[in-house]
A and B are shown apart, each in its own frame.
Chain A
Amino acid sequence: MTAATPTAPGWAAALGRRLAGGANSRWFPYLLVLPLVLVLWGFVVQPMFATFRESVSANGTDNYLQFLSSSGVARESLFTSLFISAASVLLCGVVGVAMAFLLKRFHFRGRRLIEAFILVPAALPPLIGAVSFQLLYSNIGIVPRGLQALLGTDKPVLAFDGIAGVLVVHTFTMYPFFYLAASAALAGMDPSVEEAAYNLGAGRVRVWRTVLLPMLTPALISASLLVFMTSLASYTAPLLFNVSQTMTMQIYINRTNGDLPMASAYASVLGIVSIIFLLAMRWYEGRRNYQSQSKGVSAVRREITNPIGRWLAPLASVLATLVLLAPVGAIALVAFSADRSWTTEVLPPTYTFENFVTIFTDPKAFQPILNSVQMSLIAVVGCVVIGVLIAYAVRRLTFVGRGLLDVAVMIAWALPGTVVAINLISAFSTGNAFSFGQVLVGTFWILPLAYFVRFLPIVFRSSSATLALIDPSLEDAARNLGASWLRAFYTITVRLMLPGVLAGALLAFVHGVGEFVASVLIYTSSTVPISVAINNRMYSFELGTAAAYGMLQVLLIFVVMWFSGRLESSRTATRRAEQWTN
């Protein structure tokens, strides 16, 4: 490389040349990656350090020593959080694996019905999801009160409260991690291995213990780590079921009490634990799994032949489907109930369209929707630009520190929303080089920034997955036909990535519109997003209006799910094109 003398116009020309044709240069990747590194450093990594500085600013390491003292709230909260996470892993594991076995290994009437709705509870936005379970299963919930009325007891029956309530929410919303992992592992497993064990004389229990479970282990461990992390980050469930001594709740409580250093200490500890789990997951994913490429007899679903089972199966399927749809049903029901009318009855007594009318006609009530949509759109644009470029850099370019770039994005994914919020508060409540010296906290921009940080990994992941399916030689072919790097990138790679990127962007947008966890810590009165509005309405007992907002979020999710399903078909087309080029 003969570098031009770095006079200002010469430098610009050299840069231009490099971007246009010099993509093969050794420096090119760094030129592309530098702005990406700055973004990730400025908005993901550097704020973590700011939080740590904040946590030791007032009284040194005292805040951390509280985690060691045996009587303190800090230690209690840490332990409660860890306990809830461990219990969630156990419950989700049992439910998820059982569902996977039932649905993938057996053939019975009603199986497809369950399969169609199995992911619905998990697809709800965090706040409205937790609210729906509160409406259903807490001691003010429909089910316990219904049972109370039915059985004539003087207390709600089977009401879940406190930690038990949190675990119900976690089980319903996180078992899909296990279900999906176990289903994939089961589908990839060679059925003749199981048969070989039977052939050698093993009974059903033994085959389970010695063959099936060990072969599912890699999938189950990955799912366990995921559920543990997600439970640790969970905030809305403890909030609604009044479990105040968890890490996330303590962050919120200390922040609202004005003790930012203590909130930062909690955030740092939670952040570090989350990152440790992230690294453990990445380490584990690199290890072997037991998928086989065998072309033997394909897995046969077992017919349920037991006559009792044959009658029970459809019944149980309908029941399971009802349970899966109940959260959405509860939200929909309450959305049409009059505010403050529902007190001690099993179901809301009076119904009205008023809630929706209010939302759409009262400008003040409509403002949160506008806010959420606007802020999410801004964040998604950022996510797409940065996410696609990072995906491209990580997948296609070779440069020192590639792995670190990848990890940096995934840190953004691993950090709980509460921690992201505290990090941004710590970093941007004073002027910062990355905000061009501006204070961002208390302005409009802090929420889009939080959404950007939280949902960048979603766009990154789906872009990266699509990119993995696109043959690199397509871009080479374009270059060979005379296209510049930029042209080849835009006309070939970006074009082929489009369905995947779009799917990721839609998902990020949906998450943005449903975001609550970070929002509630950093929103300003002029930028109240939908979820915070829901929370405020609940606080003033306007359940109907709160549920109506929630219903709109849920509708948006269903529309996007349907649309993504349609995108899926064009994505398979890309995959097919991929096969032709090989």
Chain B
Amino acid sequence: MIDVRLTAVSKRFAKSSDSAAVDDVTVTIGAGEFFTLLGPSGCGKTTTLRMVAGFYFPTSGHIHFGDDDVTHWTPNKRDTGMVFQNYALFPHMTVAQNVAYGLKVRRVSRADQARRVEEALAQVHLAGYGDRRIDALSGGQQQRVALARALVIRPRTMLLDEPLSNLDAKLREETRAEIRRIQRESGTTSIYVTHDQAEAMAMSDRIAVMESGRVQQVGTPHEVYYQPANAFVARFIGRSNVLSLPVTGAGEQRVQVRLPGGASIEVGAPAGHGLAEGDTALVSARPEHIALGGDDDTASLRGRVSHVEFTGMATHVTVDVDGDEVMAALVDAPAGMALGDVVGLRLVPERLWVVKP
């Protein structure tokens, strides 16, 4: 097990020299960690992963696998196991031949090859499929062959580029649990790319949230969810209301803000937030941390319901508070809630978090 370090890695493509596809990315992926690059389409996830795999070379910066500076190594020397978005299985080989390819390259003895291929196929629940042609497999099965092919070489790092995006919703959830199980068993350092925040939250040890080629935040799913670094992260991970509230007092990791109703509440803030009395703070409040509340409650907002949506688990309402739309997910909404009703909303102060713009 090794760690993977990206140090100030940037990538500019020749044609679009004006903006960098990947801009000054520095992250350290711990040995054995399941690390996810998460961000909207076009934010540079694939480019980052391909630099780790060696298909692109960084314009500047360095990539280390453990003590090896691999920045300019060719892909075939890096010993990574990549699972491609479209699987990239060799169409002219059987399932077993596909899985055995990397072992052949590594001159593993024939007997060992056969044994390890069998093991790998069993690991992805494809025992007995070795002699099948690739085009005789379903999408989910092809996906698992791709996984087995990458796993079987016991690579130093596994690289997975949106491996589930071609599967249907149900299979996607099953397979993500499966991938995580296999990764835990093998303990391989893994970098996983996805644009699906639910997938990232469910699978990852840590997540790097990217936008426009830059890393916005690195943290555990819990951290990026409850303590988003900025408004982008707050809105991209789940849904969030980002409220602009006047600051009435500031501490080391706490900030007091005044609600529209007049009451002041204390909310969490990152160290070094730099806010002082008189500033305006951006406060992230997730819909599920907003409940119906009495008028007397200090942490409350009042407004008119402008949209109601019943989902079963909760009622999603949008409330117009002095011209700002506030989303709330209510588990205890009365059945008769209708557009135009005036309601009071209660924030849960310990779940609020000050974010950067």
Whether chains A and B associate is yes
Within 8 Å of chain A (Cβ to Cβ): is B55?
Answer: yes
B92 CB to nearest A CB, Å: 5
> Contact at B149–A200, with CB atoms within 8 Å?
yes
> Contact at A192–B76, with CB atoms within 8 Å?
no
Tell me how many residues of B have a C-beta within 8 Å of chain A: 31
Q: Which of B80-88, B269-277, B286-294 contacts A (4 or more CB under 8 A)?
A: B80-88
Closest to A204 in B: B76
For B86, what are the chain A residues with a Cβ–Cβ distance below 8 Å? 190, 192, 292, 294-296
The complex places the Cα of A539 from the Cα of B153 at a distance, in Å, of 69
Interface hits, A204-230 → B, CB 8 Å: 206, 210-211, 214-215, 217
> Contact at B84–A195, with CB atoms within 8 Å?
yes
The complex places the Cα of A297 from the Cα of B53 at a distance, in Å, of 14
A484 CB to nearest B CB, Å: 45
Q: Point out the residue from A190, A210, A303 that lies within 8 Å of B88, measured CB to CB.
A: A190
Q: Point out the residue from B46, B79, B85, B101 that lies within 8 Å of A197, measured CB to CB.
A: B101
> Contact at A198–B90, with CB atoms within 8 Å?
no
> Contact at A196–B105, with CB atoms within 8 Å?
no
> Contact at A192–B74, with CB atoms within 8 Å?
no
The complex places the Cα of A297 from the Cα of B50 at a distance, in Å, of 11
> Contact at B76–A196, with CB atoms within 8 Å?
no
> Contact at A196–B92, with CB atoms within 8 Å?
no
> Contact at A193–B74, with CB atoms within 8 Å?
no
> Contact at A196–B82, with CB atoms within 8 Å?
yes
Within 8 Å of chain A (Cβ to Cβ): is B221?
Answer: no
> Contact at B102–A200, with CB atoms within 8 Å?
yes
> Contact at B75–A199, with CB atoms within 8 Å?
yes
For B74, what are the chain A residues with a Cβ–Cβ distance below 8 Å? 198
A335 CB to nearest B CB, Å: 45
> Contact at A290–B84, with CB atoms within 8 Å?
no
Within 8 Å of chain B (Cβ to Cβ): is A258?
Answer: no
> Contact at B85–A296, with CB atoms within 8 Å?
yes
Within 8 Å of chain B (Cβ to Cβ): is A203?
Answer: yes
Interface flags, B139-170, vs A, CB<8A=1, else 0: 00000000001100100000100000000000
> Contact at B85–A290, with CB atoms within 8 Å?
no
For B78, what are the chain A residues with a Cβ–Cβ distance below 8 Å? 199
> Contact at B101–A193, with CB atoms within 8 Å?
no
Q: Point out the residue from A192, A203, A206, A215 that lies within 8 Å of B84, measured CB to CB.
A: A192
Q: Point out the residue from A190, A201, A210, A295 that lies within 8 Å of B106, measured CB to CB.
A: A201
Q: Point out the residue from A195, A214, A296, A297 that lies within 8 Å of B92, measured CB to CB.
A: A214
Within 8 Å of chain B (Cβ to Cβ): is A498?
Answer: no
> Contact at A192–B88, with CB atoms within 8 Å?
yes
The complex places the Cα of A303 from the Cα of B90 at a distance, in Å, of 26
Closest to A213 in B: B92
> Contact at A195–B75, with CB atoms within 8 Å?
yes
**10 closest A-B pairs by CB:** A200-B102, A192-B88, A196-B88, A294-B86, A198-B75, A201-B105, A199-B82, A290-B91, A214-B92, A296-B86
Within 8 Å of chain A (Cβ to Cβ): is B89?
Answer: yes
Known contacts: A200-B101, A201-B153. The answer to whether A211 contacts B90 by CB under 8 A is yes
For B102, what are the chain A residues with a Cβ–Cβ distance below 8 Å? 200-201
Known contacts: A201-B105, A201-B153. The answer to whether A196 contacts B91 by CB under 8 A is no
Closest to A195 in B: B55
The complex places the Cα of A196 from the Cα of B80 at a distance, in Å, of 10
Closest to A192 in B: B88
Within 8 Å of chain B (Cβ to Cβ): is A202?
Answer: yes
Closest to A295 in B: B86
The complex places the Cα of A214 from the Cα of B92 at a distance, in Å, of 7
